[in-house]
Amino acid sequence: MNLDVISIVMNNFKNDSRVLKEAVSLHGDAYNVTVVALYEDGLKEEEVINGIKVKRIRLYTKKWSKSLLIQILKYMEFLLKVIFNFRSKVDVIHCNDLGPLPIAVLMKGISIGKTKIIYDAHEYQTEIIGLNGLRKKLTMIVEKSLIKYVDEVITVSESIANEYVNNYKIKKPKLVFNCPNYSDPQTSNIFRELYSLSRDKKIFLYQGGLSAGRGIEQMLDVFTSSSIHPNATLIMMGYGPLEKKVRRYADDYNNIFYKEAVSPKDLLKYTSSADVGFLMTENSCLNNYFSLPNKLFEYIMAGLPVISNDLPEVRNLINRYNFGWLIEEQSVESIVSLVNELVEKDLSEYAVNSKKMSINYSWEVQEKTLLDAYRNVTRKGE
């Protein structure tokens, strides 16, 4: 008998690659999966994406203010509508981050414990940048109070898993990294053709959100330094609040280029046409410090060596696989020195190591842990 799963997200489910990959993997293992999300103008209330049913909940309170009290009212409307729409039997509720957890616990209570809960913490939920004051206290209280009702916890890094063990005295969460599907090595010259770059130029790529906390401005300072190597080229690909600033620099400097974000299916073709990937997540909160960002796995799947800030999870992988370099001194001068060294260096060994690593860090490997978690909870196959 197929089991019914609802995967709840507190977003519009437009660009949530992790949730979609998990849903597709579960669907492939004969679970009936519905992703429950928030409705947004321009999107469909109901649709099917890659075989996955999607139900977006329309909130009448959506356009109200963002004060804490109104946010609670919005949440209560969402909660009641999820319960109303899925009041018949649900076997598993997959909570993507903390937001859906109170809904899942309530529905588990209504089912007298028959509904199981998977808590998938995509981040260190109580230590996210910008979370402070009353909101942080409420977050900590909610997570601590409700995690005991969860049947299985999944998270995204060893350090975060250990924090959950220490904080809540639970068994160690399973690790499911947000890796791309495995792709055979690609050879591409898209960037060189697009920007007429000669072979002697080394392309340093940053891809992802153009927002604070990701080292965007420091990278711009590095590549506009008077000491930067003439063959060092920076390409920034993505979107976000700092996009206008990046575009200005691209207009003013002939070694900096901006590329708008591309679709996930085309991403690796672009990534593989660079020489080195930048991962500059700033140590501005514990969630960042313990993170293992998605773009790391995108870089290695494309066979790119990586320059990264010294984050413990990334450090462990670089030390183990020798596919990149850590920035130990946070100064423009030290990063310029490293970039200049790499422009003159043969990086083929690091690229090979990066691609070898991708075999172990592909979604095809990660989904096995996800499915094991579901089988532990549902005893499916017994």
Per residue in 49-107, pLDDT (tens digit) is: 999 999 999 999 998 998 989 999 999 999 999 999 998 889 999 999 999 999 999 99
Q: Beta partners for 37? A: 56
Please state the domain extents for the chain: 4-178+363-378, 190-358
Domain 4-178+363-378: what homologous superfamily? Answer: Glycogen Phosphorylase B; (3.40.50.2000)
d(CA 175, CA 97): 14
pLDDT cut 70: percent of the chain above it: 99
What pLDDT digit, counting tens, does each position of 190-242 carry? 999 999 999 999 999 999 999 988 999 999 999 999 999 999 999 999 999 99
Q: How much of the chain is helix, strand and coil, in % rounded to 5?
A: 45, 20, 40
3-state secondary structure of 152: strand
Q: 334 — alpha (psi -120 to 50), left (phi > 0) or beta?
A: alpha
171: closest CA among 184, 199, 188, 152? 152
pTM for this predicted structure: 0.92
* CATH 2.40.50.140 correct for 190-358: no
pLDDT level of residue 1 (50, 70, 90 thresholds): low
3-state SS, residue 316: helix
* Residues sharing a CB contact under 8 Å with residue 278, sequence separation 6 or more, in sequence order: 204, 205, 206, 215, 219, 306, 307, 308
Answer for the pair 90, 109: CB distance below 8 angstroms, yes or no: no
Cα atoms found within 13 Å of the Cα of residue 368, Cβ hemisphere only: 5
Q: In what helix (H) or strand (E) does residue 290 lie, and over which residues does it extend? A: none
If you average pLDDT over residues 126-154, what whole number do you get?
93
- For residue 36, list its beta bridge partners: 8, 55
Q: Span 276-284, mean pLDDT?
A: 94
